[in-house]
Amino acid sequence: MKGMQSASSPIALREGASHRQVRILLFGGFGGLLLLLGGLGLSAISFLYQIERREERIRSDYVNRDRALEVLRANIYSSGTYLRDFLLAETGGAAATQRRQFLERRALIEAELAGYQKLAGPDQQDALRRLNDELAGFFLIAAPVLEWNAADRRTLGYRFMQDEVLPRRSASLALADRIQQASDKQLNAGSAAVTELMASFRTKLLLLLVFTLLIGLLLAGAALWRLLRLEQESLGRFTEVLHAREELKRLSSELVAAQENERRRISRELHDEVGQVLSAIVLGLANLRSALRDNNREEALQHLQRVQDMTERNVSVVRNISLLLRPTMLDDLGLIPAVKWLARETSRSASLAVDVMAEAFTDELPEEHRTCIFRVVQEAVRNAARHSGARQVRIYLQETRQPDGGEISVSVQDDGKGFAASQEPGLGMIGMQERVVRLGGQLQVDSEPGRGTIVSFVLPIPQRTKKSVS
């Protein structure tokens, strides 16, 4: 059961990792898709905002130019009107008033021309320059006229109006109209640019939408593929768990069967060996009592000798059974003497030479480590004696110490017929594996048909043992 718990913990770890991968995949895939959609929406909003700003700027510039141009037209027209009224004035006061208003309009026109210069586009610069020259010429020839007296105004005023004021005012207004036309063209060009920009935006938005859909499909496909794969892995792991449960049931039944076989063997040993010898001892004691009753001293001594021999043999049988169950020397003398006793007993009872070699071995280990090493070595030697047909077995024990830790290396090698290491292990092999893994070690079986078998394992030395040894 401990072995199954230790084997199921990696499965639990893999299940937890699988669940984390699913969560990361879902968050990453659908979160990435939401980020793409959000980016697409923000990009569209930003682009629309830029178009709106540009259209507003074009409209605002046009309105400002149109308003300034209308004011300029009105001032040009009114300046000509004030100059005409000045030339037609009957009194000096009225002429002075018209002269003052003309000069105010001239100042306003010059200021408005300077301000419009900043608003005008490249297409308006030529017409604006000609308008500026026309108005400068008009104001230049009007400057001496403003000094005329009443007689000069009556004599020369009408002709000056017909020859200079009206034509120049008409020319200035025509130039203003040309500037207005250029402004309208600029507005149309700006509208066309906005329309083109909107068409470009639609194209880019369509491309971004297609790109987002493709990325979304890729993310959804990757997520779906990964989920299906994780589902298959989960199904495989579920199958492994079911197989492990079935294996546990099989091992449990085999363990019960092995326990029953061991009990049956011990019972048979006790019945066949110990029970029969005890019965013979009882019979010998009865014979001894009869001989003593008949005062047959020689026969009594013979019966007594036979009872002593049977008792000694019975003690030997009981000792062998006890040592097979749990060698007392493992607790009294240590691991190395117990392993050497096992080697001697195996060599004596089977046609098999067993050698033990221990290098740098302090033999100061916890009881569970000594028991584990002895039982694994005992099982490996027993398998070699029963199944491999080997003639020689070598047992190597080595203790390695390092500044940051240490370990015990054990190997059992035989020159038998070997077997396919990939085949399903038996109960004895599984028991060895369980003992070694429970103490944090690793067991390895190397075997090929016709090349013998090597059973090796490594156990870490506990911290408290290292301190006691040091």
Q: Are 172 and 131 in contact (CB under 8 A)?
A: yes
Q: How confident is the model at residue 324 (pLDDT cuts 50, 70, 90)?
A: low
Give the residue from 167, 201, 227 where a domain finishes: 227
Q: How confident is the model at residue 215 (pLDDT cuts 50, 70, 90)?
A: confident
**pLDDT(251) > 50:** yes
Q: How confident is the model at residue 115 (pLDDT cuts 50, 70, 90)?
A: confident
- Higher pLDDT: 88 or 403? It is 88
Q: Which residues of 376-394 are buried (b: 16+ CB within 10 A; e: fewer)?
A: bbbbbbebbbeebebeebb
Shared domain for 214 and 350, answered yes or no, is no
Shared domain for 215 and 89, answered yes or no, is yes
Shared domain for 336 and 215, answered yes or no, is no
In a domain, 421, yes or no: yes
Q: Are 400 and 409 in contact (CB under 8 A)?
A: yes
Shared domain for 349 and 218, answered yes or no, is no
- For residue 120, count other CB atoms closer than 10 A to its CB: 22
In a domain, 367, yes or no: yes
Shared domain for 63 and 187, answered yes or no, is yes
Q: How confident is the model at residue 7 (pLDDT cuts 50, 70, 90)?
A: very low
Mean pLDDT of 34-43: 76
Q: Domains in the chain: how many in total? A: 2
In a domain, 349, yes or no: yes
- Higher pLDDT: 234 or 420? It is 234
Of 393, 450, 394, 391, nearest to 419 (Cα)?
Answer: 450
Mean pLDDT of 423-433: 73
In a domain, 255, yes or no: no
What does the pLDDT read at residue 363?
Answer: 67
Shared domain for 25 and 162, answered yes or no, is yes
Q: How confident is the model at residue 117 (pLDDT cuts 50, 70, 90)?
A: confident
Surface-to-core class of residue 83, CB atoms within 10 Å of its CB (0-12 exposed, 13-18 middle, 19+ buried)? buried
List pLDDT tens digits, range 121-147: 777 777 778 877 877 887 788 888 888
**pLDDT(459) > 80:** yes
Q: How confident is the model at residue 41 (pLDDT cuts 50, 70, 90)?
A: confident
In a domain, 214, yes or no: yes
**pLDDT(470) > 50:** no
Of 103, 111, 116, nearest to 65 (Cα)?
Answer: 116
What does the pLDDT read at residue 47?
Answer: 77
Mean pLDDT of 11-18: 57
Give the residue from 201, 227, 253 where a domain finishes: 227
Phi then psi for residue 389, to 5 deg, are 70, 25
Q: Are 381 and 432 in contact (CB under 8 A)?
A: no
Shared domain for 97 and 212, answered yes or no, is yes
What does the pLDDT read at residue 469?
Answer: 39
What does the pLDDT read at residue 404?
Answer: 62
Q: Residue 410's Cα: distance from chain center in Å? A: 40
User: In DSSP terms, which residues pair with 396 in a beta bridge?
Assistant: 357, 411
Q: How confident is the model at residue 3 (pLDDT cuts 50, 70, 90)?
A: very low
> What single string gives the DSSP state of each residue in 109-155?
HHHHHHHHHHH--GGGHHHHHHHHHHHHHHHHHHHHHTT--HHHHHH
In a domain, 188, yes or no: yes
List pLDDT tens digits, range 345-360: 888 877 788 888 887 6
In a domain, 245, yes or no: no
**pLDDT(239) > 80:** yes
Interatomic CA distance for residues 123 and 117, integer angstroms? 12
CATH of the domain at 395: 3.30.565.10
Query: Residue 121's domain spans which residues?
Result: 2-227
**pLDDT(435) > 80:** yes
The pTM for the full model equals 0.44
**pLDDT(304) > 80:** yes
**pLDDT(445) > 80:** yes
In a domain, 431, yes or no: yes
Q: Which helix (H) or strand (E) holds 446?
A: strand 442-447
- For residue 402, count other CB atoms closer than 10 A to its CB: 9
What does the pLDDT read at residue 4?
Answer: 40
Shared domain for 30 and 172, answered yes or no, is yes
Shared domain for 216 and 353, answered yes or no, is no
Give the residue from 227, 243, 275 where a domain finishes: 227
Shared domain for 334 and 218, answered yes or no, is no
**pLDDT(6) > 50:** no
Shared domain for 28 and 168, answered yes or no, is yes
- Higher pLDDT: 73 or 421? It is 73
Mean of per-residue pLDDT scores for the chain: 77
Shared domain for 10 and 146, answered yes or no, is yes
